[in-house]
Amino acid sequence: MPTSNHSQQPIGIFDSGLGGLTVVKELNLHLPNERIVYFGDTARVPYGGKSAQTIIRYSREIVRALLKYKVKMVVVACNTASSLALEVLKKEFNVPIIGVIEPGAKKAVGVTRNKKIGIIATSSTIKSGKYAKNILKLDKDVRVFSQPCPLFVPLVEEGWFAHKVTYEVAQQYLAQIKKAGIDTLILGCTHYPLLKEVLGHVMGLKVELVDSASEVAVKVQELLINKKLLRSRLGPAGHVFIVSDEPEQFKRLAIRFLGGGVKNVRRHHYV
Ligand code: DGL
């Protein structure tokens, strides 16, 4: 278990690929002194339709790889891995681990006025029922409406954020939950914050879009304060990015998710 002596060590974050960089972006804003080791499993992305058994195996291997970098905590930035593997990881590893589901659910329950919350996510995240479970734990009177949106991830990776095809796909996917009269929509996937413009347009001004990335950053900050693990040293953070496929594609697309370029990208080889 890391102690305050470990405060200068980096935060480990992982995702199935690039999408978790939306969480890195928020952490950079909230905790600019922290160093980050980011693992993007670019060789095995997407996770969104895979089974729990596979996601647990992948996640376990990644946490092991991150621990070699002596990370003081781990953030599971991927919604699918948070839904399917977080509980197992917490039992197996002796390092603080947080996911994105609980913070996202908490934020949505705080935002809704009519107690009707929509969730959009990958198929595996929706199937796990974890968002609904976390929401109902906080407020049993909330009604939850879920919709898997598997085409959104490839559309974002293609850079089609405001493309008319994306708009049409969103209209199809969101028709039912829009009809249900929700006032809050959880963007339950790392990629969806990049579709805010289209999603906002389709859902209308009365529906608030909840993206868990900023809430996760607040939770990381609280955890580091409570455990006396905040990095005190000022100066450039010097993040490290590790990918399981060749780094070129990651370097090229990272700017979309992070809002800036990435340096120090390394290749991880599974044994
Ligand atoms: N990172 C995944 C998530 O947040 C989306 C991409 C994938 O399917 O791997 O669920």
Indicate if ligand 1 lies below 6 Å from the C-beta of 174: no
- Tell me how far CA of residue 138 lies from CA of 134, 188, 195, 218, 231, in angstroms: 7, 17, 27, 18, 32
DSSP state of 10: P
Cβ proximity of 97 and 36 under 8 Å: no
- For the chain, how far is it from start to end, CA to CA, in angstroms? 26
For the chain, domains (ranges, CATH) are 4-100+214-267 (3.40.50.1860), 101-212 (3.40.50.1860)
State the distance from the centre of ligand 1 to the C-alpha of 45, rounded, in angstroms: 8
Per-block average pLDDT, block size 10, for the chain (271 residues)?
A: 77 96 93 95 96 98 97 98 98 97 96 98 98 98 98 92 96 98 97 95 97 91 95 77 94 87 90 75
Indicate if ligand 1 lies below 6 Å from the C-beta of 18: no
Cβ proximity of 188 and 107 under 8 Å: no
Indicate if ligand 1 lies below 6 Å from the C-beta of 122: yes
Enter the pTM of the model. 0.95
